[in-house]
Amino acid sequence: MCGIIGYVGSRTALPLILEGLKNLEYRGYDSAGIAVISNDQLRIKKDVGRVDRLLADPNFNKTKGVIGIGHTRWATHGKVCVENAHPHTDCTEKIAIVHNGILENFRELKSELLKRKHIIRSETDSELIAHIIEEYLKIKPTFLDAFSEALKRLEGSYAILAIKADEKVILGAKKSSPLVLGVSEHGIFISSDIPSFLEHTKNVVYFHDGDIVKASPDGFNVFSNEAKVHRPIDTIDWDVEQVKKGDFDHFMLKEIMEQTETIQRAIQQDETIVKQISEAFKSAKGIFFVGCGSSYHACLAGSYVFSKISNLHVNVCLGSEFENFEHFLTPETLVVAISQSGETADTLGAVRVAKKKGCKILTIVNVMGSSLMREGEVSLLLKAGPEMCVLSTKTYTSQVALLTLLAFVVADRLEDGKNEMKKLWLEIYKLTSRTMREHIRKLAHPMINAEHVYLIGRGLQYTTALEAALKIKEVSYIHAEAFAGGELKHGTLALIEEGTPCIVFVSGENNKIIQNVHEIKSRGGVIIGVSPQQNEIFDFWIKVPEVGLLSSIIQIIPIQILSYYLAVLKGLDPDRPRHLAKSVTVE
């Protein structure tokens, strides 16, 4: 997802925007740019590649001015090039905008603007916003009025910031894309994500869809349906150190190590609320868990533990596919939507489908004030702190832990669940120890040249295999594929060749998987066992404790570490995998 940052206040804007863009790099991007108002003129610098390239121009670095906007772009409309990088300007080059989202009526708007003789310099849909504002400035008395009218022409999703050379304000708006305001002692920040300004303030304002904000050195006002509205200032409990790598080379390893703490925080929930949620599960006639990516795998793991602990059947659905099941939905259906960012477009779309059918909505998110949190009747926070690496590690295990806790609550065994998960702290500490990391690093060395890696499991171990395969392929670019052990003879064995690495997840209740391992071994596969017990068939053994129904939390951690080392040994950046963004906010 693209990153957006704006600043207006008493300090020089350029270094604050550069700092904000650096803090947004974890989201993934291919180009970056900044626009600053200096002496009633726009000073703009943009380039392909890293934010650091913006520092290469010594003249631009001297730019003064207390108002500016910045952007890191992840290409959707148009190729990766300087012309398509943000900010974009209108024909007069007096208006500059940055935009995250998709304009669905892009072709219609572009055709209209070309007929009006506008000069369109890029292939993006975003640039059109600046030209539409320019058009309305011809007939509207103020910049805010023109901006508001322009928004009415946009179909699709957006988070937008706009500045005008001779105006001392930043205008912002959101619809189905994240935008949050930070209130510091020296000025106002408006951004797509809190880490961009966390070093300056923990005081934030969350916007509703359709809100328009006008920020100036004197403060801010929020408007909805052309009327001024009140949006409260909240204080977040994130620590600025959580958005820094500290002594770690990469955020990914830092966040893997943090799981000793984040699992405990995830289960520290208000007992009154979780018991209220328990009643919603018990009274529901039909339950759906909905998520995307790692959150979807957490949903799958949750469906197994709900079956085993609570004797409840749960339907699991990808956010992007949920609309195909809307004819099953009724006001008695409970939909549990899960997302790290709370801004995942497909998950939000699923929730809106469910709300039209009158379903009860529970959301599980990591970001307070996120869109998904506001869509839910009840929402639970993961409390994992900011996850800066594009890959989900600590938030995935927090999601599984929280769903497992809810399963215990529904079974009227809350204290049992909390006590069981408290035992995980020491086990996770052992799994992330230097000794274990070095053991796994030895495995990574011979695997870096593999073209394919296959992973198998049964039951909860199958859900772990799915998440493990995702971790390997998204960070190391090695093709990894997971299968249920019982499916091997239904075609998958044809893929096994001499020397093919195969990772098998074993638990006490699913020893049947060893027979599947023999089938792979007899065809030349190299067996990597993730298991409480050594087995002579393993070529490499990663020892994990036997924790029963909590195995989805424990067994994924060694593969998170393996994935990290596969990337590092291949010379890749594990924090920023190619083509991927932290939050997928467009469908």
**SS3 of 74-101:** CCCCCCCCCCCCCCEECCCCCEEEEEEE
Asked if pLDDT for residue 510 goes beyond 70, the answer is no
Task: Give the per-residue pLDDT at 242.
Answer: 64
Angle (CA) 229 232 237, round 5°:
155
How confident is residue 466, by pLDDT bands cut at 50, 70 and 90?
very high
Asked if pLDDT for residue 189 goes beyond 70, the answer is yes
SS3 45: strand
Do residues 318 and 296 make contact, with C-beta atoms less than 8 angstroms apart? yes
Task: Give the per-residue pLDDT at 52.
Answer: 78
Identify the weakest region by mean pLDDT among 26-30, 293-297, 318-322. 26-30
Residue (of 483, 546, 547) closest to 516 by Cα position: 483
Cα–Cα distance, 47 to 45 (Å, whole number): 7
Query: b/e for 284-297, b at 16 or more Cβ within 10 A?
Result: bebbbbbbbbbbbb
Task: Give the per-residue pLDDT at 503.
Answer: 96
Q: What value does the mean pLDDT take over residues 113-142?
A: 95
Angstrom distances, CA of residue 232 to CA of 139, 220, 336, 385: 33, 12, 27, 22
Angstrom distances, CA of residue 224 to CA of 97, 148, 207, 525: 20, 10, 10, 61
Average pLDDT across the chain, whole number: 91
Task: Give the per-residue pLDDT at 520.
Answer: 87
> Is 582 a known active-site residue?
yes
Phi then psi for residue 96, to 5 deg, are: -130, 140
pLDDT digits (tens, 9 = 90+) for 353-377: 999 999 999 999 998 888 898 888 9
pLDDT digits (tens, 9 = 90+) for 525-553: 899 999 999 999 999 999 999 999 999 99
Architecture per CATH, domain 433-577, reads as: 3-Layer(aba) Sandwich (3.40)
pLDDT digits (tens, 9 = 90+) for 321-332: 999 999 989 999
Task: Give the per-residue pLDDT at 205.
Answer: 93
SS3 248: coil
Catalytic annotation, pick one of 2, 299, 389, 502:
2
Task: Give the per-residue pLDDT at 62.
Answer: 82
Asked if pLDDT for residue 587 goes beyond 70, the answer is no
DSSP structural state of residue 129: H
CATH number belonging to domain 3-236: 3.60.20.10
Task: Give the per-residue pLDDT at 432.
Answer: 94
Sequence-ordered list of residues with C-beta below 8 angstroms from that of 28, at least 6 positions apart, any chain? 1, 74, 390, 576, 577, 579, 580, 581, 582
Beta bridge partners of 542: 530
**Tokens of residue 112, six digits:** 């209209």
pLDDT digits (tens, 9 = 90+) for 1-18: 678 999 999 999 999 999
Task: Give the per-residue pLDDT at 497.
Answer: 81
CATH number belonging to domain 245-422: 3.40.50.10490
Look up the pTM and report it.
0.82
Residue 53 vs residue 548, higher pLDDT? 548
**Tokens of residue 318, six digits:** 């990808």
DSSP characters over 365-406? ESSTT-HHHHH-SEEEE-------SSS-SHHHHHHHHHHHHH
Sequence-ordered list of residues with C-beta below 8 angstroms from that of 142, at least 6 positions apart, any chain? none
- Sign of the torsion angle spanned by Cα atoms 263, 266, 268, 272: negative
pLDDT digits (tens, 9 = 90+) for 260-312: 899 999 999 999 999 999 999 999 999 999 999 999 999 999 999 999 999 99
Residues of the chain with CATH 3.60.20.10: 3-236
Residues of the chain with CATH 3.40.50.10490: 245-422, 433-577
Asked if pLDDT for residue 344 goes beyond 90, the answer is no
Asked if pLDDT for residue 584 goes beyond 80, the answer is no
Identify the weakest region by mean pLDDT among 34-38, 54-58, 327-331. 54-58
Q: What is the CA radius of gyration of the chain?
A: 25
> Is 81 a known active-site residue?
no
How confident is residue 240, by pLDDT bands cut at 50, 70 and 90?
low
Catalytic annotation, pick one of 175, 254, 394, 582:
582
Q: What value does the mean pLDDT take over residues 188-211?
A: 92
